Amino acid sequence: MMALFPIRRAEEIPSRSGGTTAAFSGLDASGAVDKASRDSAAQPETWRREHTDIPDRTFPLNAFLICESDPDMFCIPPHWHEHLEWIAVTDGRFSVQVGSQLRELSAGGCAFVNTKQLHAAFPLEEGSRLYALVFGEALLRNHALDHTETRYVRPLLEGKLALRSFYEKESAEELRLQLLRIVSEYGACEPGYELLVKAALLAALGLALRGSETAARTAYGGEPDTAGAGSPGIDAGGHRAGSGAAAGRVDRSGAGTDSVVYPLLLHLSERFREPIDVKTAAGLCCVTPTYFCHVFKRSTGCTLTEYVNMLRIQEAEAMLRSGGHTVQEIARSVGYGDAGYFARVFRKYKGMPPGRYAEANHRL
């Protein structure tokens, strides 16, 4: 199925199935983490950045249809960009990542992505579809400096106002309707659509804030809490985010500086093909292996091995859809030296062996 709107484009980054140049050089010849690499993990310019296609820079918005049956637009690979983004699932189920949080969203669920925040989405069943609405901060700003600007928009963009990342179907009906209204108005482009799109974006922000208790409290002068903005809610010392000296430390990536595993997730978004063990991963996060295992599971809901396998299988899925590669070639390309083990892992995630998946999904 063709995208309804101009498709998402990464001008400086080749497609993942075609291979990418690692933007994070984190390991020396012995497998140790060097200081320069750790420092680079803290700099967003070294991460997997996407340059999103915005057709009209005077009205910075674009809408993308992600459809499981579309071989070119069936998922959102891990990346970040300068814009904000709303994700609305309309059919099926997706595994959605925002910051260090992973969540399964069914039809009717929504997700919010702040500026410079790592995010991804992968379909979990046939027929899954979502809309991704990417927009610039200019569509929210109000230079009159009224309460919409000073109390909500500016704190959100500065990382002082932390909205929830995920909104389940049961509590997101009105929010979802606002997002789909944006899709409809933007697609039709009838006179006045800009006003209606901007109004719906502000309405979505207001609804999200009402659904984020800590964000609402912060907007009215309470203490900020970073746990809803992609942070796992624990700092490197094991303290809850939002308490004591750790409260309110949020950067513009939308992930709190207390999000211990975030540097690793950014590293893996580019270098998931390479072997990595718990000791190396803990080194990238500057914590002990024991604490790393605890906080990674708490943050993502899975183990390091399960997370790496997920990234590799999604990459393999894209290559199988595109054709032109044997199962053995794909296994080596995504990081598995043993094609038999790759086939077992693929079947665990997709419910069928890779050869059968290729036959069922390859598009000529």
Q: What is the pTM of this model?
A: 0.68
Residues 224 and 99 in one domain: yes
What gap in Å lies between CA 262 and CA 232, rounded to an integer?
Answer: 9
By CB neighbour count within 10 A (0-12 exposed, 13-18 middle, 19+ buried), where does 229 fall? buried
* Residue 169: Cβ within 10 Å count: 14
Place of tokens 């929504």: 110
Encode pLDDT of 258-284 as tens digits.
478 888 988 998 899 999 999 999 999
Range 290-308 average pLDDT: 88
Q: What is the pLDDT of residue 186?
A: 95
The reply to whether 6 falls in a domain is no
Instruction: State residue 2's pLDDT score.
Output: 35
Split at pLDDT 50, 70, 90, the class of 318 is: confident
Sheet holding 76-79, edge to edge: 76-79, 119-123, 93-98, 101-106
| Domain termination site, one of 301, 327, 352 | 301
- Structural domain range at position 167: 24-301
Q: Same structural domain for residues 171 and 311?
A: no
Q: Based on the domain organization, do 210 and 328 belong to the same domain?
A: no
**Whose structure tokens read 């393999």?**
316
Same domain, 229 and 333: no
Residue 65 has pLDDT above 80, yes or no: yes
Look up residue 4 and give its two tokens: 């309804």
Contacts of 56 (CB under 8 A, 6+ apart): none
Mean pLDDT, rounded, for 320-329: 89
In this structure, the answer to whether residues 56 and 134 fall within a common structural domain is yes
Determine the 3-state secondary structure of 309 from DSSP: helix
pLDDT number for residue 146:
80
Instruction: Say yes or no: 72 and 153 in one domain.
Output: yes
**Same domain as 287, residue 353:** no
Whole-number Å distance between alpha carbons of 187 and 352: 37
Reported as a single tens digit per residue, the pLDDT across 202-238 is 999 999 998 776 555 555 555 544 434 443 333 333 3
128 and 179, same structural domain?
Answer: yes
Q: What are phi and psi of 58, to 5 degrees?
A: -80, -15
Domains: count for the chain: 2
CATH (domain of 314): 1.10.10.60
In this predicted structure, what is the pLDDT of residue 158? 85
Query: Higher model confidence: residue 4 or residue 102?
Result: 102
pLDDT value at 23 more than 50: no
Distance (Å, rounded) from C-alpha 94 to C-alpha 107?
A: 9
Q: Which of 11-15, 102-106, 341-345 has the lowest mean pLDDT?
A: 11-15
Query: Is 18 inside any structural domain?
Result: no
Q: Does residue 63 lie within any of the structural domains? A: yes
Shared-domain flag, residues 260 and 348: no
CATH of the domain at 86: 2.60.120.280
Q: Classify residue 1: in a domain, yes or no.
A: no
Q: Are 83 and 115 in contact (CB under 8 A)?
A: yes
Is 294 within a domain? yes
For 87-129, what is each residue's pLDDT tens digit?
999 999 999 999 888 999 999 999 999 988 899 999 999 999 9
Would you state the pLDDT for residue 218?
57
Provide CB contacts within 8 A for 54, sequence distance 6+. 60, 61, 62, 83, 134, 136
Q: Does residue 99 sit in the same domain as residue 237?
A: yes
Q: Are residues 60 and 171 in the same domain?
A: yes
User: Picking from 129-138, 186-195, 232-241, which range would have the lowest pLDDT averaged per residue?
Assistant: 232-241
Q: How many whole angstroms separate alpha carbon 191 and alpha carbon 329?
A: 52
15 band by pLDDT with thresholds 50, 70 and 90: very low
Please tell me the distance from the alpha carbon of residue 161 to that of residue 179, in angstroms, as a whole number.
21
| Structural domain contains residue 5 | no
Q: Report the amino acid identity of residue 53.
A: D
User: Is residue 61 pLDDT above 80, yes or no?
Assistant: yes
Report which of 274, 277, 312 is spatially closest to residue 296, judged by C-alpha positions. Answer: 277
pLDDT value of residue 328: 94
pLDDT, residue 221, reads 58
Looking at residue 50, its pLDDT comes to 62
Tokens of 220: 């009215």
Confidence of residue 48 (pLDDT cuts 50, 70, 90): low
Does one domain contain both 145 and 176?
A: yes
Assess if residue 9 is contained within a domain: no
The predicted pLDDT at position 259 comes to 72
Pick the more confident residue, 232 or 179.
179
Q: How far apart are CA 119 and CA 240, in angstroms?
A: 23
Is 73 inside a domain boundary? yes
Look up tokens 């992968």; give the residue.
122
Q: What is the pLDDT of residue 232?
A: 37
Tokens, residue 16 = 């993942």
Using the 3D structure, point to which of 252, 282, 301 is the last residue of a domain: 301
